[in-house]
Structure 1
Amino acid sequence: MDKPILVVDDEPEILMAVDTTLRMAGFANIVTINDARDVIRHMEREIPGLILLDLNMPHINGGRLLKIIRKTWPKIPVIVLTGTIEVDTAVKCMKIGAMDYVIKPVEEDRLVAAVKQALALEESGSIVKKPLHQDLFAQIKNPAAFRQIITQDKKMHSIFHYVEAIAPSLQPVLICGETGVGKELIGQCIHTLSGRKGKLVVVNVAGLDDNVFSDTLFGHVTGAFTGADKARPGLIEQAAGGTLLLDEIGDLALTSQVKLLRLLQEGDYLALGSDKTRHSDARIIASTNQDLWALETQGKFRRDLIYRLSTHTLTLPPLRERLLDLPLLLDRFVCQAASELDKPIPDIPKTLIEQMETYPFKGNIRELKSMVHDAISRYEKGPITADLFKGLDAAVQQSPLDTPSPGLETDKGLPTLKEASNILVEKAMEQAGGNQSAAARILGISQQALSKRLQKIRK
């Protein structure tokens, strides 16, 4: 097998028994893990072809771990390992995505048969019904190149197709999008798919004056300036045969823009203090969270440079426009943070996800990851709740129910309960922009209940 069989169990004797049985049956590529907290971290580095998963383990329950695996890697077959008295639990696990179960202590023939059947079905592609995002991934030629990006969003998968199409090109790429949406990750995907032999070099050009920019990018020769006692190659030289990613390109000084334009047009540049022209074959990728055309009208960015940079252009959507990914991202970041901080992995209630769906996430995925890490650092036990997320808790508390609403106090005194109820409903609909689902969450009622109230108000 190209991909390993991953065996997860906290009992060393079970791991040894399973490993020995499978090796004797001809399966040589086997990885064993005795700490459930290490599973996700390992799978991010190497995706297995099959997982044998114990149900009762400390730190992370096997059923919980199965749910995490099913959300992020729905295509990987999983066989549950269970004690005799836990058959009912094993059956429940099969309902949420396990292919089969094997009772411990394992019978050699039963184990080998289950493994062979799982691998045969995996090869034939007839395992469980694939979720939507797995169908989309199936249309991508090189899904492994995008493994660091967690998504089931159609826009993101369209971008993946575009990235695959432009990756072999030598022309520059401009990646646009708000802070924290994953521009550098997409840049890494482009470089990986390009097949270029050199490495990917990333430099943030924000705040660099012209001299520092030139020295950083192009390097200098001995004696170029006071203190330059030896020559230093620039990042463009380090990216030879590879890719140079210029982050925050919208903040680049105008004088530096001229030098970058020459590099893009001719591939030529001068090291500081040198009159000898050098040539670069590095592919240029630029990223920005600003509108370059708006900067051009303000005289802050060269029009000809925009044209050169944007031969290929893509714009990444903000997190608030890909809410289908929110549960997946939240689940992954919770697991990562819990592992790093040596905390138990908490359950994530549906109400928390609903509250997060109304949060603006101006810092996008980067902000979500930071919020989760901070929340897990203060987490102790039970389901994780909104009050552990500082920014989210403040947003939830800032509800129209917590502030005086126009019309609740009149010259005639307090309104009736019916009048107050109608006022709150209208206020919630106004704040939600007419979205009944969002307004219902604000009011703490179901969407159906809100719909009935609106019908009565509008009669």
Structure 2
Amino acid sequence: MAEALSIVIIDDNPGSLELLSVALAHSEAAVYTAANPVEGLELVRKHRPRLVVTDLVMPEMSGLEVLKEVVSFDSSIDVILMTAHYTPETAVAAIRQGAADYLQKPVKIGLLRERVASLIESANLRKRVHASSGAGAQDLEFEGLQAKSDPMWNLFAMIQRVAPHYRSVLIQGPTGAGKDLIATALHRRSHVLGKFVVLNCSAVVETLFESELFGHVRGAFTGADRDKTGLFELATGGTLFLDEIGDMPLATQAKLLRAIQNQEILPVGSLNPHKVNVRIVAATHRDLRAAIASGNFREDLYYRLSMVELTVPPLKDRPEDIPLLARHFVRKFSGEFSKPIEGLTQRALLVLQRYGWPGNVRELEHVIGRACMLSDGTMVDIDNLPESLIHTEARLNSSEESSSLLEDQERQLITDTLRAVKGNQSEAARRLGIGRDALRYKIKRYELPG
């Protein structure tokens, strides 16, 4: 805990209160304690702390009610809940309501200090991200993912919060947006000791799904000349990543649901079930609710998988990430091709930022890889970019006048809406029918008062 901060601890157990205050005592931290939630909230309003640590079950007011009050007062304050009745489901439910973490009592002091330090480090990193011009890529990285935009750092914050607790996560987003990297980040931040095992559901023959997931015994079917360990068993103690879960056949979905619910598998041809302990991360680019409506996806499996839902935004919705990612890929491919490429010209960057990126980050990576392969100089220029991007830029230039008119109209609409709601960005975003992050981007783009 390197930076000066204040902490409020709320617990109706005097012994626990004393133990926690000693555990979090620090030369650069001011620790305030309260034996009941009403006094604790008064301390929060008075000192506006960086962190609140509160028990869940207390007289007068529960920890969840304290959480609600703190989030309403200042959503930037992190709240850690503690309970003697921990379950992954209650932990995730609390995090959905705004908790930064959820710990089981009696709290392990080392774990508490580790989680507090992690929260503060994450907050400091986000400050550096917002203050950065984008040049210091090492400061804009989370588990190997490069980003500067608010939508991505909000996603990273949720990963950090749910990773220690989740049993299943559903990642949604367009093809090429990086869902596999998000799954890897979840596994790493969960600190489980087992393996990260991957199954691409779109690449498996329907008749082999059950064998791939649960394994089989010798003689179970023609060609089964030896026992085979399934991916569930291989991933026990770790994470099983089911990529493109929307392509899984309905018959397999029913068996997957039972395996997740019971944490038990039955290899094909066997009469002896095996217990497993597996976290499930599923990903898809499909609209699973539409698939449910059309009868192509099981509703009960959807709700089992979506204990936590994470959405990876398309690249076109986070244009501030494009220069950062482009420079990252230039460094990667200049090393792979042993070329002294130092970066991209401004006009090449402009073309990249104005393109729509239907293939998302994967398409950008391929474009930069091709450009580095073709480049003979120290900078990637527009001559090294595919013709499709250049043609898009030409069309954009020819319609610049009409685009300018549309931008003027959009700027005026946002200004009028913000004025009507007295600057309330959440209400303005709702009235405009866009996300709050998108509204903030447009406010920044048009240099409007926030």
Q: TM-score, normalised on structure 2? A: 0.58
Number of the residue aligned with 1:395: 392
CA displacement at 1:384 relative to structure 2? 2.1
- Correspondence for 1:257: 253
Name the CA distance, whole Å, in 2 between partners of 1:371 and 1:349. Answer: 15
Relative to structure 1, the CA distance from residue 208 to residue 434 in structure 2 (aligned partners, 3 Å threshold; closer, same or farther) is: farther
Q: Which residue of 2 aligns with 1:147?
A: 143
Matched, 1:271 2:267: yes
Cα RMSD for the two superposed structures? 2.8
Quote how far apart the aligned CAs of 1:185 are.
Answer: 1.1
How far did residue 220 of structure 1 move?
0.7
Q: In the alignment, is the contact (CA less than 8 A) between 2:341 and 2:379 conserved in 1? A: no
CA distance in 2, matches of 1:155, 1:387: 32
Q: 1:335 to 1:206 in 2, by over 3 A?
A: same
- CA distance in structure 1 between the partners assigned to 2:164 and 2:128 by the alignment: 30
Aligned CA distance change for structure 1 residues 290 and 430 (closer, same or farther; 3 Å): farther
Shift of 1:431: 8.1
The reply on whether 1:352 has 2:357 as its aligned counterpart is no
User: Could you tell me how far 1:216 is from its partner in structure 2?
Assistant: 1.0
What residue in structure 2 maps to residue 375 of structure 1?
Answer: 371
Q: How does 1:59-74 map to 2 (within 5 A)?
A: none
The alpha-carbon distance between structure 1 residues 324 and 425, as it changes in their structure 2 partners (threshold 3 A), is closer
- Could you tell me which residue of structure 1 aligns to residue 361 of structure 2? 365
Aligned residues: 282
Looking at structure 2, the residues matched to 130 and 190 of structure 1 have their Cα atoms a distance apart, in angstroms, of: 23
Distance change in 2, residues 1:319/1:244 (3 Å): same
Shift of 1:292: 0.4
Q: Which runs of 5+ in 1 are unaligned?
A: 1-125, 136-142, 402-423, 437-450, 452-459
Aligned partner of 2:219 in structure 1 is: 223
- Quick check: 2:292–2:298 contact (8 Å CA) kept in 1? yes
Which ranges of structure 2 fall in alignment gaps of 5 or more residues? 1-123, 134-138, 412-445
Q: Distance in 1 between matches of 2:205 and 2:168?
A: 23
Contact kept? 2:147, 2:321, Cα under 8 Å:
yes
Matches of 2:408 and 2:270, distance apart in 1: 60
Residue matched to 1:292 = 288
Distance in 1, Cα, partners of 2:408 & 2:300: 41
Give CA deviations for 1:229-275 in whole Å, capped at 9, x if unaligned. Answer: 11010111110100000000011111111111111211122111112
Match of 1:205 in 2: 201
Q: Give distance in 1, aligned partners of 2:385 and 2:400.
A: 27
Structure 1 residue identity aligned to 2:182: I
- Given residue 395 of structure 1, which amino acid in structure 2 is its aligned partner? T
Aligned to 1:408: none
1:323 Cα offset (Å): 1.2
Deviation of 1:223 after TM superposition, in Å, equals 0.4
Q: Which has the larger radius of gyration?
A: 1
For residues 380 and 311 of structure 1, the distance between their equivalents in structure 2, rounded to whole angstroms, comes to 50
- In structure 1, how many angstroms separate the alpha carbons of the residues matched to 2:171 and 2:245? 10
The one-letter code sitting in structure 1 at the alignment partner of 2:287 is D
Q: Secondary structure at the match of 1:336?
A: helix
Deviation at 1:179, TM superposition (A): 1.1
> Is residue 359–residue 392 contact of structure 1 (8 Å, CA) maintained in 2?
yes
* Aligned 8 A contact 1:153 1:322 in 2: yes
What's the secondary structure of 2:380's corresponding residue?
coil
After superposition, what is the alpha-carbon deviation per residue over 1:187-222, rounded to whole angstroms, capped at 9, x for unaligned? 111111112110110110114344211111111101
Distance 2:225 2:331 in 1: 49
Structure 1 letter corresponding to 2:130: L
Contact 1:133 1:153 in 2 (8 A): no
**Distance change in 2, residues 1:434/1:297 (3 Å):** same
Give CA-to-partner distance per residue, 1:367-412, whole Å, 9 cap, x none: 10111001111111264222321131232234563xxxxxxxxxxx
Change (3 A) 1:425 1:344: closer
**Residues in 1 aligned to 2:176 and 2:131: alpha-carbon distance in whole angstroms:** 22
AA of the residue aligned to 2:389: L
> Aligned residues: percent identity?
36
For residue 285 of structure 1, give the secondary structure of its aligned residue in structure 2.
strand
Q: How does 1:89-168 map to 2 (within 5 A)?
A: 130-132=128-130, 146-168=142-164
User: Could you say if the C-alpha distance between residues 313 and 396 of structure 1 is closer, same or farther in structure 2, counting changes exceeding 3 Å?
Assistant: same
Secondary structure in 1 matching 2:145: coil
Note if 1:313 corresponds to 2:309: yes
Deviation at 1:350, TM superposition (A): 2.0
Q: 1:343 to 1:428 in 2, by over 3 A?
A: same
CA-to-aligned-CA distance 1:332-376 (integer Å, 9 cap, x gap): 111111111111214422222222122111111111011100111
Q: For residues 432 and 370 of structure 1, do their structure 2 counterparts lie closer, same or farther at Cα, with a shift above 3 Å needed?
A: farther
What are the Cα deviations for residues 29-53 of structure 1, in whole angstroms up to 9, with x where unaligned? xxxxxxxxxxxxxxxxxxxxxxxxx
2:180 to 170, 176, 184: 184
State the one-letter code of the partner of 1:373: G
Counterpart-to-counterpart distance in 1, 2:263 and 2:141: 28
Contact 2:340 2:378 in 1 (8 A): no
Alignment partners' CA distance in 2, 1:329 and 1:320: 13
Whether the 8 Å contact between 1:133 and 1:152 is mirrored in structure 2 is: no
Contact 2:351 2:390 in 1 (8 A): no
d(CA) in 2 for partners of 1:433 and 1:209?
53
Whole-angstrom CA distance in 2 between matches of 1:180 and 1:133: 28
Query: What CA distance in whole angstroms lies between the structure 2 residues aligned with 1:431 and 1:251?
Result: 40
Q: Is the 8 A contact 2:196 2:240 kept in 1?
A: yes
TM-score (norm 1): 0.57
Contact conserved, 2:355 with 2:389, CA < 8 A, in 1? yes
In structure 2, distance between residues paired with 1:358 and 1:286 = 32
- The reply to whether residue 195 of structure 1 matches residue 191 of structure 2 is yes
Q: CA deviation at 1:130?
A: 4.2
SS in 2 for 1:216: helix
Measure the CA separation in 1 of the matches of 2:302 and 2:408.
Answer: 36
1:133–1:151 Cα contact (<8 Å) kept: no
Partner AA of 2:385 in structure 1: F
